[in-house]
Structure 1
């Protein structure tokens, strides 16, 4: 099956590798940032200039718009994306209702 898919899509995806899911993945974390967190493995941060932009947004916004403007968050939960505010120990949390960003808060 994978060979047939590779052959069928071969002309469309030159240079792309087919990813295989790891067979033995165990996540053990004793220091959860937020219940249900999913670390993205990036240092998602918001600068002071981006914070000014965030404060001026008209809500709601789409998830895609948020990621395009601010990049991927450091952590993601079902209800929010967590970004570190540059130069501080505060977090900016973009809140979601489904795929729509409905606002933000600081922690």
Structure 2
């Protein structure tokens, strides 16, 4: 029985080359900002999402045109070349991201730290 104990360790060691070839999580996933950059000028009049808007955003099928987003949620509070930023009732932010064609392709919500 004593000679069987090293086998699990050898099996784990055989996986080491596979694990070393995986990219680090920070390298594998790009995390765009969910809050407007400092110094960004306000874009819209209101730019807030209510609870019903948040639920709608979560169930949207992407991609969506900019016009469809604007017609549904109104103008954002802030806008830059990659995203529209809407204020949430809890003080956090929702970001809707656009591709180079101007279509909305994804969204994210900031956490309580504003990230």
TM bucket normalised to smaller: 0.5 to 0.7
- Contact 2:64 2:103 (8 Å CA) reproduced: yes
- The alignment partner of 1:72 has SS state of coil
List alignment gaps of at least 5 residues for structure 2. Answer: 1-35, 111-115
Instruction: Give the structure with the larger helix fraction.
Output: 2
Alignment pair present for 1:102 and 2:105: yes
Higher relative contact order (CA 8 A, sep 6+): 2
Instruction: Give the structure with the larger strand fraction.
Output: 1
List alignment gaps of at least 5 residues for structure 1. Answer: 1-32
Alignment pair present for 1:40 and 2:39: no
Aligned length: 74
Alignment pair present for 1:72 and 2:70: no
Q: Which residue of 2 aligns with 1:81?
A: 84
Q: Out of 42, 59, 64, which is 2:62 matched to?
A: 59
- Please tell me whether Structure 1 or Structure 2 has the larger radius of gyration of its CA atoms: 2
Q: Out of 89, 94, 111, which is 1:92 matched to?
A: 94
- Contact 1:73 1:81 (8 Å CA) reproduced: yes
